């Protein structure tokens, strides 16, 4: 899936065309036109291994949406949000080591950002 985005002056990206991502055949994540993402919030210690733009755009956008919405109002758990992040990175061609480092980082450090 290709996502149409614009890079804003503040370094974040803005989704230009809304879309729906279906997971498991029966649950959907709706991304509205104008949704803003910071892409990957990479901890300083991991920046030599993972740059902000090296995880693609789709996986970070979906992950940001799920974290901000508490899993679309409880439809998805935090663990599922992180699994979606991992799987979509792989589908978008992010290398195995890079995506696993990113996945482990969100599992260990992103819990405080989850809006339950």
Question: Which residues 6+ apart lie within 8 Å of 38 measured at CB?
Answer: 11, 12, 13, 52, 60, 64
* Residue 19, number of CB atoms within 10 A of its CB: 17
How is the beta sheet containing 5-7 ordered, strand by strand?
5-7, 13-15, 36-37
pLDDT for position 9? 94
* Residue recorded with tokens 């279906």: 22
User: pTM value?
Assistant: 0.91
Whether the per-residue pLDDT at 111 is higher than 90: the answer is no
Q: What are the structural domain ranges in the chain?
A: 5-113
- In tens, the pLDDT along 23-56 reads 989 999 999 999 999 887 777 777 777 777 788 8
**C-alpha 26, offset from chain centre:** 20
């Amino acid at each position: 899936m290709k996502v149409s985005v614009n890079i804003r002056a503040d370094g974040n990206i803005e989704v230009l065309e809304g879309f729906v991502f279906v997971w498991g055949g029966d649950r959907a994540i709706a991304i509205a036109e104008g949704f803003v993402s910071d892409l990957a919030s990479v901890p300083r210690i991991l920046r030599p291994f993972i740059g902000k733009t090296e995880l693609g755009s789709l996986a970070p956008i979906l992950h940001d949406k799920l974290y901000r919405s508490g899993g679309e109002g409880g439809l998805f758990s935090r663990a599922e949000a992180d699994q979606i992040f991992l799987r979509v990175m792989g589908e978008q061609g992010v290398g195995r080591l890079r995506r696993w480092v990113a996945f482990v980082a969100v599992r260990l450090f992103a819990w405080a950002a989850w809006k339950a």
